[in-house]
Amino acid sequence: MEKFTTLSGVAAPLMRANIDTDVIIRIERLTGTQRAEMGAYAFEALRYRADGSENPDFVLNQEPFRGAPILLAGANFGCGSSREGAVWALMGAGVRCVVAESFGDIFFNNCFQNGLLPVRLPAADVQRLAEQCAGGNARLTVDLARRRVVSPRGEEMPFAIEAMRRDALLEGLDDLGLTLKHTAAIEAFQAHDRQARPWVWQPG
């Protein structure tokens, strides 16, 4: 998993509440589509017209925001079903951080498993950032080490994140990677347990 330390770039404002995972990636795209290809289908219903052409009114189709690494979103972003493909689609489209007032719980957890940082900020702060970034010329900075979002005007907005999740993103580790950090302790336990309870362990 790619490390996340500090991210600075254009932030695309998509200030619609309750964008669910089916809007982020349609369920039929989860079969027969490789993970690396899902970015092309992110926000498919919003990005494209019925004839398949791009919708010029959708923010990620507008040149200042095309491929933006940061998404500013409305409340309850990523609600709905538990599909991990929603995170894959966002990352495939270039998004590494979503800033919103709140997130769907399962989507929020899936973000950390894949290296995408979900940042919770008060609604007024997200709205203020959206207004400052609306023209596409301003840059937003997300500093995970310092747990700060720095607005285009230099205002620092602190955000909360669990220490273990923060450290995992900084090191580029998912749950399996975090577990493997304790390989020596695991092997020591296994060796001791083999001696104490040999009947539990099958030969070989």
Q: What digits encode the pLDDT tens for the residues 56-114? A: 999 999 999 999 999 999 999 999 988 899 999 999 999 999 999 999 999 999 999 99
Number of domains in the chain: 1
Print the domain residue range for 96: 6-196
Q: Is residue 204 part of a domain?
A: no
Full strand arrangement of the beta sheet holding 140-143 = 6-9, 140-143, 148-150, 156-158
Q: Which residues pair with 79 in a beta bridge?
A: 20
Question: Residue 96 maps to which CATH number?
Answer: 3.20.19.10
Q: Is residue 134 part of a domain?
A: yes
Q: Is residue 47 part of a domain?
A: yes
Q: Under a CB-based contact definition with an 8 Å cutoff, are residues 88 and 114 in contact?
A: yes
Q: Look at the block and give the residue holding tokens 């995408």.
A: 116
Q: What is the pLDDT of residues 25-63, one digit of tens each?
A: 999 999 889 998 999 999 999 999 999 999 999 999 999
Q: Under a CB-based contact definition with an 8 Å cutoff, are residues 97 and 70 in contact?
A: yes
| Confidence (pTM) | 0.86
